[in-house]
Structure 1
Amino acid sequence: MNKTRTRFSRWALPILSVQQLVLLAALIALSFVLGRVSITTQILRISFVFLASSLMGKWFGPIWSMLVMVLLDFVKTNFFGGGNWSPFMAIGVAIAGLIYGAFFYRENKEQKLSWWTIALAVLAITVIVNLLINTASIMLLYSSKHSWAVFNGMLAPRLLKSVIFYPIQLLLTYWVLNNRVVLDLSKRFFNQ
């Protein structure tokens, strides 16, 4: 097989079979359910939607993951009481989808992912999306003042949450992506 094609195939938008579309629909439903199970305080929201997003990245690659995650964000926000949809927050969602797909997608879907791959992906999501993009988006949307002082003030509680939640997200992501059921589903739906 041509190595150039293999290297860039993860960035393609492949046509999905009916079975793969059904699996994607199941992940969308799982994302809705996990979004409802989130832990929310006045300042922070802890959600387990990343598990469905990680599976999307593993099975469907960065482009499908990005498109579906942005669509999910739009639908959840506008139709299920999440407030008003924001293109600023959608940027973070889109980048998260790209990161999940770029790190987790493999031609051989049955291949286990290493601790390092998952650790780097979760770190990239945590720093780039959760801390930088989402904090800046929240500042732009909800603060009348846009300054580094306001950004840093909003970043502090989010940083604490990220430090505490990072190992939890890492362990759960590793367990979900590499468990026997997921590997069997990979073989069943993506055996080429």
Structure 2
Amino acid sequence: MNNTRTRFSKWGLPILTVQQLVLLAVLIALSFLLGRLSITTQILRISFVFLASSLMGKWFGPIWTMLVMVLSDFIKVSFFSGGTWSPVMAVGVALSGLIYGAFFFRERKEEKLSWWTIALAVLAITLIVNLLINTAAIMILYASHRSWSVFMGMLSPRLIKSVIFYPIQLVLTYWVLNNPAVLDLSKRFF
């Protein structure tokens, strides 16, 4: 392994092989598919896209995961949902990619991740991204009046959803990231 590859790997920006690029493309497609199966209202969104994002973070690190998630979000919103892409919402997407990569990326990809690591990552995503950043972004984009009371009014149903969905996301993330098939793919591609 040359010195350049080692230096970039520590930052989570490894030079990707063709097989790794194909795997990344499959994860992007999985992300699109899981996003289509989501339940969405103006305030709430229940989705399992976090599974594909977690795998990206485990295999490709924080920088690749952030870049791919933002690009995927742009493509998904601009071309498939008929909406308008918003850089305000992209802040949460970018931060999610950084968090997934920072918590899940390991030099030895076949290592199992601990419950604590996954619990902290899911908690950080839930509190910082889902509750704070995304709620503020929704208020900025959709509320005619912006105030603390409007933010709290939008936060209430999102908080209930987060309390219910946190253990589900925790168990599913742990199961997917430490699944023998995923660990086997880690050995074969990385």
TM-score bucket of the superposed structures, by smaller chain? over 0.9
* Equivalent position SS for 2:164: helix
Residue 93 in structure 1 maps to residue 83 in structure 2: no
- Cα deviation, residue 107, structure 1: 0.2
Whether the aligned pair in 2 keeps the contact of 1:10 and 1:105 (CA below 8 Å) is no
Tell whether 2:29 aligns with 1:29: yes
Deviation at 1:94, TM superposition (A): 0.2
Partner of 2:144: 144
Spell out, residue by residue over 1:17-76, the C-alpha distance to the aligned partner (whole angstroms, 9 max, x if none): 000001000000100110011123454210000000000000000000000000000000
1:144 counterpart SS class: coil
Number of equivalent positions? 186
Identity level (%): 82
TM-score w.r.t. the length of structure 1 is: 0.93
Change (3 A) 1:147 1:51: same
Q: Quick check: 1:10–1:102 contact (8 Å CA) kept in 2?
A: no
Alpha-carbon offset, residue 11 of structure 1: 2.0
2:175 equivalent in structure 1: 175
Deviation at 1:136, TM superposition (A): 0.2
Amino acid aligned to 1:129: V
Other-structure match for 1:68: 68
RMSD: 1.6
For residues 101-180 of structure 1, the aligned pairs below 5 Å read 101-180=101-180
In structure 2, the CA distance between the partners of 1:35 and 1:16, relative to structure 1 (3 Å rule), is same
SS in 2 for 1:113: coil
Offset, 1:15 = 1.1
Letter in 2 for 1:69: M
* Offset of residue 78 of structure 1: 0.5
User: What corresponds to 1:19 in structure 2?
Assistant: 19
Q: State the alpha-carbon separation in 2 of the partners of residues 135 and 14 from structure 1.
A: 33
2: distance between equivalents of 1:151 and 1:170? 26
Worse overlay, 33-42 or 99-108: 33-42
In the alignment, structure 2 segments of 5+ residues that lack a partner are none
Task: Verify the 8 A CA contact 2:57 2:105 in the aligned structure 1.
Answer: yes
Q: List alignment gaps of at least 5 residues for structure 1.
A: none
Cα distance in 2 for partners of 1:32, 1:16 equals 22
1-side partners of 2:127 and 2:7: how far apart? 26
The farther-off stretch of 181-190 and 43-52 is: 43-52
Aligned partners of 1:174 and 1:74: how far apart in 2? 28
User: How high is the TM-score relative to the length of structure 2?
Assistant: 0.94
Q: CA deviation at 1:146?
A: 1.2
Contact residue 69 and residue 93 of structure 1 kept, 8 A: yes
Aligned mates of 1:38, 1:95 — CA distance in 2: 21
